[in-house]
Amino acid sequence: MRAEDDMHLTAHEYTIALPAWIDDELADVPDVIPDLEDRMRLVHRLADRNWREGNGGPFAALVAESGTGRIVSVGVNVVLATGVSSGHAEVTALGLAQRAVGGWDLGAADQPDHELVVNWRPCVQCYGATLWSGVRTLVVAGSGPELERITTFDEGPMREDWAARFEARGIRVVDGILRNEALEVFQTYRDAVDAGGVDVYNARRG
Amino acid sequence: MRAEDDMHLTAHEYTIALPAWIDDELADVPDVIPDLEDRMRLVHRLADRNWREGNGGPFAALVAESGTGRIVSVGVNVVLATGVSSGHAEVTALGLAQRAVGGWDLGAADQPDHELVVNWRPCVQCYGATLWSGVRTLVVAGSGPELERITTFDEGPMREDWAARFEARGIRVVDGILRNEALEVFQTYRDAVDAGGVDVYNARRG
């Protein structure tokens, strides 16, 4: 017999889900996007819509097969929508890609090479999430302090040699794909925040 | 009309769920555990059972209200069970705690102070996940290289000043709670791996 004060966990599971508008946004997007810039263009489009929909920050990601450009998954920041602070675009895209391929290791021997495409250098959490995911390439639009300066989001204490540490683990880093377009998304978001009316969230600050 | 080659996402969501044995393991555990060492003792117990159940690595965590010791959530490494590489014990416990309290910020103004209790210093991913979760305290059994040496798990490129960066963001770090007991769990796991018969996984290595 259980005592009154025995533990009754309120939550046994949580779900990270794409917002409903994703299918609408992807309706005219082909399964295979051979050009890397075009893949980043899709990421920017999703990032821009994401904050407008009140789903979270202006961040998006996708996982593709590097060789063909076949899109395996997309992700957006769903922190506000799911109420789970780890639900960044990269974590979402990587988890969905792993669900799609049926296992936790996107770099398994029977897998084609996978890449993660993101609209800026990942925060410290997603840096680690990328390391453990099995992707062989990280593609970012940019990696400088502009993201934090424009959006005011805290990206956490990253190591200066973050890219070298990726490379040391066999993950190639491609930087500077449609960089200006990324900054335009961030600036548009920031302008909207300054004008009021955007449901802003942010994590703990220093 | 959709073209044949338009995108059809295979996965729209994924779920991070506690294993079925958790309720059994917690059957005799009270909702409130006032003593911090007793809270860590529970974490060690869950970590030890987790690898034996084939669920993932020998890692567990819980979120508690610091003031009372009321347990809000528990988490174990569910990478193997869920097929999602970000499903570490800390990410699981933090996500479930946020589900339990109904929001992404465990440090929100209307919340009591929350702590994350883990059986070793988090990896770089969970370092970030802890930063963004809103917990005010991180309690670890230890933080040295022993974990990587004994278990062979890669914890990623952490900054040397990781603890100071936590403190700078208002997160207190308590280290060394039931340290030897943590090492015993790791060593027992390692011995079982060396003896064969444990379904070992590991992420990309340097």
pLDDT tens-digit readout, B151-166: 988 899 999 999 999 9
Q: What is the mean pLDDT of chain A?
A: 92
Question: How does pLDDT run across A81-127, given as a tens digit for each residue?
Answer: 899 999 999 999 999 999 999 999 999 999 999 999 999 999 999 99
The answer to whether the predicted template modeling score (pTM) of the entire model surpasses 0.90 is yes
Cα distance between residue B18 and residue B93, in whole Å: 9
| Other CB atoms within 10 A of residue A180 CB | 9
Is the pLDDT at A204 greater than 60? The verdict is: no
What residues pair up with A63 in beta bridges, in sequence order?
A: A73, A116
| Burial tier of A27 (Cβ tally within 10 Å: 0-12, 13-18, 19+) | exposed
- Which band of pLDDT confidence, cut at 50, 70 and 90, is reported for residue A8? confident
Is CATH 3.30.70.370 what the domain over B32-191 is classified as, yes or no? no
CATH number assigned to the domain with residue range A29-193, chosen from the 4 options 3.90.850.10, 1.20.140.10, 3.40.50.720, 3.40.140.10: 3.40.140.10
Q: Tell me which H or E stretch contains A76.
A: strand A71-76
First to last CA, chain B: 48
Q: Tell me which H or E stretch contains B75.
A: strand B71-76
Q: What is the nearest CA distance from A197 to chain B, expressed in angstroms? A: 20
User: What is the SS3 assignment for B95-137?
Assistant: HHHHHHHCCCCCCCCCCCCEEEEECCCCCHHHHHHHHCCCCCE
Which residue of chain A has the CA closest to B202? A132
Closest CA to B93 of B177, B16, B29: B16
At residue B30, the pLDDT reads 96
CB within 8 Å of chain A, chain B residues 43-102: 71-74, 79-80, 82-87, 91, 94-100, 102
Q: What are phi and psi of B74, to 5 degrees?
A: -130, 160
Encoding tokens for residue A170? 């066999």
At residue A201, the pLDDT reads 61
Is the pLDDT at A202 greater than 60? The verdict is: no
At residue B4, the pLDDT reads 62
Exposure letters B46-83 (e unless 16+ CB within 10 A, then b): bbbbbbebebbbbbbbbbbbbeebbbbbbbbbbbbbbb
Exposure letters B6-33 (e unless 16+ CB within 10 A, then b): ebebebbebebbbbeebeebbeebbbeb
pLDDT above 70: percentage of residues in chain B:
94
Facing B15 at nearest CB: one of A5, A9, A13 = A13
- The listed range with the strongest mean pLDDT (B50-59, B88-97, B191-200) is B88-97
Q: B31, A6: Cβ pair inside 8 Å?
A: yes
Q: A16, B12: Cβ pair inside 8 Å?
A: no
Cα distance between residue A181 and residue A58, in whole Å: 12
Place of tokens 């869950």: B46
Question: How does pLDDT run across A141-187, given as a tens digit for each residue?
Answer: 999 999 999 998 889 999 999 999 999 999 999 999 999 999 999 99
Cβ-Cβ contacts under 8 Å for B158 (sequence gap 6 or more): B121, B123, B124, B127
Cα distance between residue B173 and residue A19, in whole Å: 36
Sheet with A71-76, side-by-side order of all strands: A71-76, A60-65, A114-118, A137-140, A172-175
Angle value at C-alpha A180, between A176 and A185, nearest 5 degrees:
115
CB within 8 Å of chain B, chain A residues 133-172: 133-134, 154, 156-157, 159, 161-162, 165, 168-171
Is the pLDDT at A37 greater than 70? The verdict is: yes
